[in-house]
Structure 1
Amino acid sequence: MRHQLRPLFDRVVIKELEPDRVRRSGLIVPPGTDEPPPQHGIVLAVGPGLDWWAHVGVKMPVKPGDHVVFPASAGVWVEVDEERLLVCRVGELLGVLEQVADCYYCSERTLAAGDTCPVCGREGAAITRDAPGDPDPGA
């Protein structure tokens, strides 16, 4: 029989992601070298949320399946059925990693729908040449 950890209050349960052992430069980092503790993970479960001052439930900003970033000092590591899990307060999370499209014209910047590129001034929806009213990138 498997167990599932159900977080209470404003806590979340996170499964750590294995660190990427291949750097952008192509360098392969062998296991056991001086590695920082894991700081990325996938949310497995979310508590109901609680506002300690008003004693009412609050909407949690993360949901199961979110890819989150957290500091090395966040929460407590526990082992459930030989699986290492982080249990921390939602306020300890640094953010949620989301996939965004590259700006077609700048390619260095990433844009979410509705965001404006700080370099070329185009909106996130205008990431293809086919966008109506957009001039050619060379213009």
Structure 2
Amino acid sequence: MNLKPLGDRVVIKKVEVEEKTKSGIVLPSSAKEEPQMAEVLAVGNGIINDEKKKDEIKVGDKVIFSKYAGTEVKIDNEELTILKLSDILAIVE
């Protein structure tokens, strides 16, 4: 897979959510929420070439993003999301 985002966009892959609650109840797929945490797979040149933005995010970062942000695509049987840098709310350290 070679997907290169344009401008100030970022490619992310959502991190799977736990299948059980803390009390041990297994959740069916229909009851699970869409994950809002993801790993950054690629960063656009608009971010890399910008002196202010280039240190904000990098490939491999775990991020939290807006619930309805981005465009979902399926490439090589992988579900990825392309979104703008402004849709990323936080980096998880």
TM-score, with length taken from structure 1: 0.59
Q: CA deviation at 1:35?
A: 2.2
Q: Quick check: 1:6 aligned with 2:1?
A: no
Q: Structure 1: which 5+ residue stretches go unaligned?
A: 51-56, 99-139
Does residue 73 in structure 1 map to residue 71 in structure 2?
no
Rounded to whole Å, the distance in 2 between the matches of 1:25 and 1:85 is: 31
Task: Give the counterpart of 1:62 among 57, 60, 70.
Answer: 57
Residue 40 (structure 1) aligned with residue 41 (structure 2): no
One of 66, 81, 88 as aligned partner of 1:86: 81
The letter of the residue matching 2:31 is: D
Deviation, structure 1 residue 68? 0.5
Greater than 3 Å deviation, 4+ residue runs: none
Deviations 1:61-102 (A, max 9, x none): 11111011112211100111110000000100111111xxxx
Match of 2:17 among 19, 22, 32: 19
Greater strand percent: which structure?
Answer: 2
The one-letter code matched in structure 1 to 2:17 is P
User: What is the identity, as a one-letter code, of the residue corresponding to 2:87?
Assistant: E
Percentage of identical aligned residues: 39
- Structure scoring higher RCO (CA < 8 A, sep ≥ 6) equals 2
Q: CA RMSD in A?
A: 1.4
Cα distance in 2, alignment partners of residues 45 and 85 from structure 1? 11
Q: How many matched pairs?
A: 89
Separation of aligned partners in 2, 1:87 and 1:36: 19
